[in-house]
């Protein structure tokens, strides 16, 4: 890739150290980032380039230790890094910063806003005032894009005053995951699935994003957000869109984003009248995760709170393709397992020739399932009914055809940020959210939150290390279905 400049505002923060710089290092190792590229970390502390490089060296020590190719490349990568002290909330220091960054008008310049959204407007205005907002400039913004529709608009308008929409890259790192991109490949690269991809043949869809971690010392920050805003508004709805969208005409960014937008706009509204039947929110209590005792959310926060650390929703896409097909979404912290997956459950066969489960002459035929595992152990399983080998009559059992990414493709699975950062440099917005998508997602989310607030009832407690409140099990079981559990 031609040399470029990447400025990480918030270059000493958790996101920069844990995700962005390791991702850039991997791209460097693979030869995608060449000499001549400059990577700047920006924060308020005074610090030399050398001190910054030392800090990044520590941050990547783990990945360097695990791979000799990375270890060999670290010094050359660190030589691309620089540090600049700048208070993003202030007007001072920008002209000097611009002088350094601004040379080479044709160069691609990426400004990654790895800072809180309250700084976005000032950063956009300052970049414009020092002439750094022109054509070659791209800005990357992280979630949260607002805490509701109104605040998202304020952020998007502040960015829109300065940048064209094509210059703004709103990251949802789930979209950069290999398995999520593979969902598009599976659906539209195979003739097998698309004819069946509709209400006539699909019974329901489940999307689970489960974390074992709690709020990790950031309870005060998390308490202003909660699982609905932090996970559902972006990651889960984006996954739902990719499952439910109509086939786009091409892989062009707007072709895909137009289709995702239609799904968001077709979601059945959930609000005061139906939130109690269609949603469950929970909050973890003390328990044990991976054999370790962990405190409850309120103990970590040190006070009362109605913020949810778990949410389950029965969503419906109101269009011809999906009429009557529920999309069960659930996400939570301090659950039994760290796991994200999409499960598409097909309808049962209309008639079994293998005996009648009602008279005990056969066990019921399980419906086919396509399970797309996003993490860990990325891969795809297709669950099919098979005859159990042997002479014991026609005994049937559910067996998975297993396509493990690690086994099939070998090697390291690149992190989502690697793909996304390189797409920003290339100027390819396919895996980023357009402004109208963000607005449409909030339009669906805001009434759910409003209904919860109007109801005044507390989130349902659940024990850390379980699968959320029992009401989340009831949400799906009262429809005669169950949450998927991998049997093999």
Which residues contact ligand NAP by CB under 6 A?
A: 10-16, 19, 43-45, 86-89, 114-116, 119, 142-144
Min dist CB 172 to ligand NAP, Å, is 9
Rounded to whole angstroms, the Cα distance separating 2 from 441 reads 36
Number of H helices, E strands in the chain: 19, 18
DSSP letter at 31 equals T
Rounded to whole angstroms, the Cα distance separating 441 from 413 reads 29
Sign of the alpha-carbon torsion through 156, 417, 210, 186: positive
Extract the annotated binding site for substrate: 173, 177, 211, 230, 333
Token output for 359: 């008279």
Q: At what angle do helices 149-162 and 120-129 cross, to 10 degrees?
A: 10
Q: Are 124 and 158 in contact (CB under 8 A)?
A: yes
Rounded to whole angstroms, the Cα distance separating 137 from 127 reads 10
Between 14 and 72, CB nearer to ligand NAP = 14
Tell me the H-state helices in 196-350: 219-222, 227, 237-244, 253-266, 275-278, 297-301
Sign of the alpha-carbon torsion through 81, 121, 161, 85: negative
Extract the annotated binding site for NADP(+): 44, 87-88, 143
Between 123 and 382, CB nearer to ligand NAP = 123
Q: Which residues are catalytic?
A: 235
Min dist CB 230 to ligand NAP, Å, is 9
Map residue 171 onto helix, strand or coil. strand
Using Cβ positions, the residue closest to ligand NAP within the complex turns out to be 13
Map residue 485 onto helix, strand or coil. coil
Rounded to whole angstroms, the Cα distance separating 468 from 281 reads 9
Burial class (CB in 10 A: 0-12, 13-18, 19+), 448: buried
Min dist CB 303 to ligand NAP, Å, is 22
Between 3 and 93, CB nearer to ligand NAP = 93
- The half-sphere exposure of 483 on its side-chain side, counting CA atoms within 13 A, is 21
Token output for 279: 């949603």
Between 279 and 307, CB nearer to ligand NAP = 307
Min dist CB 1 to ligand NAP, Å, is 24
DSSP letter at 233 equals I
Min dist CB 158 to ligand NAP, Å, is 15
Residues contacting 246, CB < 8 A, separation 6+? 259, 262, 321
Rounded to whole angstroms, the Cα distance separating 420 from 173 reads 7
Min dist CB 141 to ligand NAP, Å, is 9
Min dist CB 17 to ligand NAP, Å, is 8
Extract the annotated binding site: 44, 87-88, 143, 173, 177, 211, 230, 333
Min dist CB 110 to ligand NAP, Å, is 15
Min dist CB 221 to ligand NAP, Å, is 8
Q: How far is CA 85 from CA 7, 11, 142, 331, in A?
A: 12, 10, 21, 38
For 29, phi and psi rounded to 5 degrees? -60, -40
Q: How far is CA 158 from CA 117, 124, 395, in A?
A: 11, 7, 64
Q: How far is CA 342 from CA 164, 207, 302, 329, 373, in A?
A: 34, 5, 35, 9, 7
Q: Are 447 and 165 in contact (CB under 8 A)?
A: no
Which helix (H) or strand (E) segment holds residue 5: the answer is: strand 5-9
């Amino acid at each position: 890739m031609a040399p470029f400049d990447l400025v990480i505002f918030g270059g000493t923060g958790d996101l920069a150290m844990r995700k962005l710089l390791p991702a850039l290092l991997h791209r460097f190792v693979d030869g995608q980032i060449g000499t001549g590229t400059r990577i700047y970390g920006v924060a308020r502390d005074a610090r030399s380039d050398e001190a910054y490089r030392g800090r990044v060296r520590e941050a990547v020590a783990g990945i360097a230790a695990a791979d000799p190719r990375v270890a060999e490349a670290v010094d050359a990568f660190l030589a691309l890094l620089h540090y600049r002290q700048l208070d993003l909330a202030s007007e001072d220091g920008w002209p000097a910063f611009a002088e350094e960054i601004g040379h080479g008008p044709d160069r691609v310049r990426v400004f990654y806003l790895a800072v809180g959204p309250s700084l976005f407007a000032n950063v956009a205005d300052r970049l414009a005032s020092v002439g750094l907002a022109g054509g070659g400039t791209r800005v990357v913004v992280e979630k949260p894009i607002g805490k509701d529709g109104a605040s998202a608009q304020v952020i998007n308008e502040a960015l829109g005053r300065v940048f064209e929409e094509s210059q703004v890259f709103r990251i949802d790192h789930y979209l950069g995951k290999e398995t999520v991109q593979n969902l598009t490949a599976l659906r539209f690269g195979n003739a097998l699935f698309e004819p069946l991809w509709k209400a006539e043949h699909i019974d329901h869809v489940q999307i689970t994003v489960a974390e074992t971690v709690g709020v990790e010392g950031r309870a005060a920050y998390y308490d202003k957000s909660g699982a609905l805003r932090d996970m559902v508004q972006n990651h889960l709805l984006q996954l739902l869109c990719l499952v439910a969208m109509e086939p786009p005409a091409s892989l062009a960014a707007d072709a895909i984003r137009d289709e995702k937008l239609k799904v968001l706009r077709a979601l059945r509204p959930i609000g005061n009248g139906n939130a109690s039947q269609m949603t469950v929110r929970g909050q973890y209590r003390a328990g044990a995760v991976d054999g370790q005792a962990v405190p409850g959310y309120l103990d970590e926060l040190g006070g009362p709170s109605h913020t949810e650390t778990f949410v389950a929703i029965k969503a419906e896409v109101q269009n011809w393709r999906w009429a009557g097909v529920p999309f069960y979404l659930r996400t939570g912290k301090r659950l039994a397992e760290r796991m994200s997956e999409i499960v598409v459950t097909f309808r049962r066969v209309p008639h079994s020739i293998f005996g009648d489960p009602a008279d005990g002459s056969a066990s019921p035929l399980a419906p086919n399932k396509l399970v797309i595992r996003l993490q860990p152990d990325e891969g795809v399983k297709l669950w099919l009914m098979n005859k159990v080998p042997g002479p014991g009559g026609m005994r049937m059992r559910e067996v998975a055809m297993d396509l493990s990414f690690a086994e099939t493709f070998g090697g390291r699975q690149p992190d989502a940020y690697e793909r996304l950062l390189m797409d920003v440099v290339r100027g390819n917005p396919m895996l980023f959210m357009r402004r109208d998508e963000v607005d449409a997602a909030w339009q669906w989310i805001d009434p759910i939150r409003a209904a919860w607030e109007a109801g005044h009832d507390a989130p349902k407690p659940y024990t850390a290390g379980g699968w959320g409140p029992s009401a989340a099990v009831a949400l799906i079981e009262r429809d005669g279905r169950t949450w998927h559990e991998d049997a093999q």
